[in-house]
Amino acid sequence: MSILVTGGSGFVGSWVAKLLAEEGEDVIAFDMFERRDDFLSHVSDRITFVEGNILGFAHINEIVRNNPDLTGIVHTAALLGGDVRDNPHFATLVNVGGTHNILEVARQVGGLKVVYVSSGAVYGKQDGPLTEDTPMIPSDPYGATKAMSEHLCHQYYATYGVDVLCARIFFLYGPPNAPGPDAGFNTRIFAGLSGQDVSLPKGREQKADWTYIEDAARGVLLMLRATNVASRSFNIATGTYNPVDEIIEVVQRHSPGNPRYEVGPGVNLERGAPLDITLAKDQLGYEPKYDLESGVRAYRAWFDQRGV
């Protein structure tokens, strides 16, 4: 048995590949580049990297058909935030067209379980807690590509019987993301854990449902193995609402030295309301392992292992 993970070198994809391999699964990690760090080195014997482009339908089709023991696909490959905003045409081709390619391969081959990694961005600026029945009203181009992809997933299930579930993850943090000076807000805000001072032009009033990456990846695995569930989309998050000031306080408590934080007023994103995770608990048995305190502690432990 094996699983194809698209975006297998990315943040979510590498964690999904890691957990699958640690549980004894063989993984095909499909991405445009192979990881250069040692994050997956302890399970490298179970992970086969295949270089490719998510827009290459024929290549994806060939991979799936040449691996008859393949039982599922976890689709994480996507362009994010600023890349979508700055190049919406290409980003829509990648994010929506790439999802369409995966669904069409699954339809043609048959018998595959698909988990599409979506985002809480599909809800836009609505007040929370946000349930899976909350309308998808995205407030930015990235969220729109995720909502469009979910609509495709739902139609491929309803029309063609493709067994596809959508994981709505949100505001992820944790290793192996090293929050350097060019990192986005959601990563940079944790840079104090490596002893760095942090200066950001805005975001002091940001609140969000921050989720430790391992919890998100575990939720995806639960969806991959779920059978006979009533829902097609699931919120995979913590269900809590943490302001930036709380993140700074917890990070400083677990940081070497006393990193300085200068964060300007306002919010970085006008969305981030907590996701209601009741459905995931009831139908998948999902339970977040990490709250903000334990997640930050685990993140810092990773820096310790690296001697940072």
Is residue 296 a part of any domain in this protein?
no
Residue pointed to by tokens 């934080």: 261
Average pLDDT over residues 8-35: 96
Q: pLDDT per residue over 129-150, tens digit each?
A: 999 999 999 999 999 999 999 9
In a domain, 106, yes or no: yes
pLDDT of 250 over the 80 cut: yes
Where are the alpha helices (H) located in the chain, listed in sequence order?
11-22, 57-65, 81-86, 88-92, 98-109, 141-160, 185-188, 213-225, 244-254, 278-279, 292-305
* Residue 117: both structure tokens together: 């990694």
Check residue 184 and give its pLDDT. Answer: 86
**In this predicted structure, what is the pLDDT of residue 272?**
84
Tell me whether residue 176 is in a domain: no
* Within a domain: 147: yes
Residue 182's pLDDT is 79
Mean pLDDT of the chain: 95
Counting the structural domains of the chain, the total is 1
**Taking Cα atoms as reference points, which of 237, 234, 209, 211 lies closest to residue 223?**
234
pLDDT for 288: 98
Of residues 65 and 181, the one with the higher pLDDT is 65
Among 86, 88, 87, 118, which residue's Cα sits nearest to residue 102? 118
- CATH number where 220 lies: 3.40.50.720
CA atoms within 13 A on the CB side of 136: 20
Instruction: For residue 299, name the pLDDT band (cuts at 50, 70, 90).
Output: very high
Mean pLDDT in residue range 276-295 = 98
Give domain status of residue 230, yes or no: yes
pLDDT at 308 over 80: no
Average pLDDT over residues 209-226: 98
* Within-domain flag for 268: no
Q: What is the pLDDT of residue 82?
A: 87
Where in the sequence is the domain holding 35, given as residue range(s)?
A: 2-170+212-237+274-289
Q: Let me know if residue 88 belongs to a domain.
A: yes
Q: What is the pLDDT of residues 238-248, one digit of tens each?
A: 999 999 999 99
pTM: 0.96
Identify whether the C-beta of residue 297 lies closer than 8 Å to the C-beta of residue 233.
no
pLDDT in tens, 75-110: 999 999 889 999 999 999 999 999 999 999 999 999
* pLDDT recorded at residue 181: 77
Q: How confident is the model at residue 291 (pLDDT cuts 50, 70, 90)?
A: very high
Report, as an integer, the average pLDDT of 198-218. Answer: 95
* Backbone angles phi and psi of 164, in degrees to 5: -125, 135
User: Does residue 120 lie in a domain region?
Assistant: yes
